[in-house]
Homo-oligomer: A and B are copies of this chain.
Amino acid sequence: METLTQAEENYLKAIFKITEKEGKSASTNAIAAVMNTSAASVTDMLKRLAGKHLLHYEKHRGVALSERGNELATNLVRKHRLWEVFLVKMLDFSWDQVHDIAEQLEHVQSEELVERLDAYLERPQFDPHGDPIPNAEGKMATRKQVLLSALAPGDAALLVGVQESTATFLQYLDRMRLSLGTGLRVKERFDYDGSMSILLNGNEEITISHKVCENLFVQKSK
């Protein structure tokens, strides 16, 4: 079992994140943006990771993770999300506080630890932000979720996830009394700016911007 530095692991995760969204390969610049570093540093690291057969690299062509790179990246995501569950469920952190800590905990090297943590938490399927947690084999649950912005007036739904996990966005949601599991119904949609007024749990009514609607995943109630 190859052992990677934390920097190497972070690059793998960044590439994983970029490619899982777009499907296609990750560009040097895109990686540099996510890693908050220079393109030159990225090129260095890509060569290094290619040398370890964790990704496929050809000059000027962008990169994609290899089978092995994908496994390792998935395991990192698994660890990150399990630790987030631990922090929220066991240590009572709020969902906007856990990212940075999990970012460190995910680098702890011990498969036994991950397995026991998973069992202790009763094999959760989703993290505090509604993101699916890969199991030990790398498989994760899927949900038929859509963006809140895709709902029409009258539609009822359950808030099941957030697209963005920045502390400021999550704190905004707290203030609006929006949390995972909250039931809602679209009352009105304003074509002018795409904002919506929605009813929470059948009573309270709030209005949220289009930007917010595009960062909330919901599951339509039949």
Contact = CB atoms under 8 A, between A and B. Distances in A.
Nearest to A104: B108
A213 B159 CA distance: 61
A120 B101 CA distance: 17
B116 A91 contact: yes
A211 to B, nearest CB: 30
A91 B104 contact: no
Interface in A91-129: 91-93, 97, 100-101, 104-105, 107-110, 112-113, 116-117, 120
User: How many copies altogether?
Assistant: 2
B108 A101 contact: yes
21 contacts: A87-B113, A90-B120, A91-B113, A91-B116, A91-B117, A91-B120, A92-B116, A93-B112, A93-B116, A97-B112, A100-B110, A101-B108, A101-B110, A101-B113, A104-B107, A104-B108, A104-B109, A104-B110, A105-B105, A105-B108, A108-B108
A108 B113 CA distance: 15
Given A90-B120, A101-B113, 14 more contacts: A87-B113, A91-B116, A91-B117, A91-B120, A92-B116, A93-B116, A100-B110, A101-B110, A104-B107, A104-B108, A104-B109, A104-B110, A105-B108, A108-B108
Interface range, A side: 10 to 19
A97 B110 CA distance: 11
A20 to B, nearest CB: 26
Nearest to A83: B108
A93 to B, nearest CB: 7
Interface string A40-60: 000000000000000000000
Contacts of A92: 116
A104 B97 CA distance: 21
Nearest to A108: B104
A104 B101 CA distance: 14
Contacts of A109: 104
